[in-house]
Amino acid sequence: MESRAVTAAPGSAELEQYRRELTGYCYRMLGSPFEAEDAVQETMVRAWKGLDRFEGRSALRSWVYRIATNVCLDMAKGRERRARPMDLGPAREPVFENLATRPETTWLEPVPADPADVALERDTIRLAFVAALQHLPPRQRAALILCEVLRWQASEAAELLDTSVASVNSALQRARATLAETDVSAAPPELDDADYELLERYVKAFERYDIEALTALIHEDATQSMPPYDLWLAGRDDILTWWFGPGIGCSGSRVLPAPFANGSPAYGQYKPSESGSGHDPWALMVLELSGGRIVEFTFFLDTERLFPLFGLPLDLDA
């Protein structure tokens, strides 16, 4: 009964119009689509309950963002930052002995995000950029997202964060310096017809496990990571050595298109089942392209959580 009363409260429709942009904000803050969804839901609940106390001294959007920021800051307290394997150490040799997990590590997670929907924010939703944000203290992170991504004035961010404009500008300066140290490259241009044709050739080559075709499609300096394993590989030679060595079990995989992840092409990979019949979910494969080649592979192996988020089936017929 309480839930129906809150939902029906005057102003709830006005709050709901901000749900989508708040989800993007909370995702950049927290590095997880699941935590972002929880944060937005908690924001909406607090806002619905507090509508009768909203006095209109600030815009409704600013008021809701203040609540969302506080929710995210609370969630980030005492927690290790979300990371990618390349954040934790150098690339290593493509041998099975280097394949290990870090139970204490919380991994960055992808979010469905089509480049057509994030055209103006494409650089700031990429996996590399969101991972770089996690290097920042939470309040610096909030200041940077508000001012650099959402284009708020420093005075607006200062009011939201209950601080001074000078403090916001100082936080921005430190945040920019930290991001510069992470060496986040600019996002490649939007995909064109040639890129989509490249992706079609890649999917066919991967399903055939055709080493010659794959060699022609992968950049010589490409990288690969496979969360939750901390191993990452640098260079086409090491990637293919892995695929045709320790990763040979992926030969015969089937690949289904998925919604774009963080503005990049994504696919569901189903590996031949060890039972000898059919295919089992193996990875959400996220690719980055540049210069007519694939330059980065991220295989997210938590299919039980990610496949439903990306609309991919957990069961695939033989």
Distance in angstroms (rounded) separating the CA atoms of residues 254 and 313 = 12
What distance in Å separates the CA atoms of residue 123 and residue 116, rounded to the nearest whole number?
13
Q: Which residue has the higher pLDDT, 101 or 10?
A: 101
Other C-beta atoms lying within 10 Å of the C-beta of residue 40: 24
Task: Give the confidence band of 55 by pLDDT, cuts at 50, 70, 90.
Answer: low
Copy the structure tokens of residue 241: 């050595």
pLDDT band per the 50, 70, 90 thresholds, residue 274: confident
pLDDT tier, 14 (very low <50, low <70, confident <90, very high otherwise): confident
Q: Highest-confidence range of 149-153, 238-242, 258-262, 276-280, by mean pLDDT?
A: 238-242
Give residue 2's pLDDT band: very low, low, confident or very high (50, 70, 90): very low
Contact 317, 311 (CB under 8 A): no
Alpha helices by DSSP H, listed for the chain, are 2-7, 12-16, 19-30, 33-50, 60-76, 127-133, 138-144, 154-160, 165-182, 193-208, 211-217, 236-243, 303-309
Average pLDDT of every residue of the chain? 90
Over residues 134-148, the pLDDT tens digits come to 999 999 999 999 999
For the cut 70, the answer to whether the pLDDT of residue 263 exceeds it is yes
Assess whether the previous peptide bond of 228 is cis (omega < 30° from 0): yes
Q: pTM for the whole thing?
A: 0.90
Looking at residues 184-196, what average pLDDT do you find? Answer: 82
In the chain, the N- to C-terminal Cα span, in Å, equals: 47
What percent of the chain stands above pLDDT 90? 73
Select the more confidently predicted residue: 5 or 259: 259
Nearest to 289 by CA among 267, 269, 265: 265
Identify any residues that bridge with 272 across adjacent strands, giving them in sequence order.
279
Lowest-confidence segment of 31-35, 50-54, 101-105, 285-289 by average pLDDT: 50-54
Instruction: Supply the DSSP symbol for 145.
Output: I
84: pLDDT strictly greater than 70: yes
- pLDDT (0 to 100) of residue 115: 64
Q: Look at residue 246 in the predicted model and tell me its pLDDT.
A: 96
Q: How confident is the model at residue 27 (pLDDT cuts 50, 70, 90)?
A: very high
What pLDDT is recorded for position 11? 64
Please give the average per-residue pLDDT across 247-270, as a whole number. Answer: 96
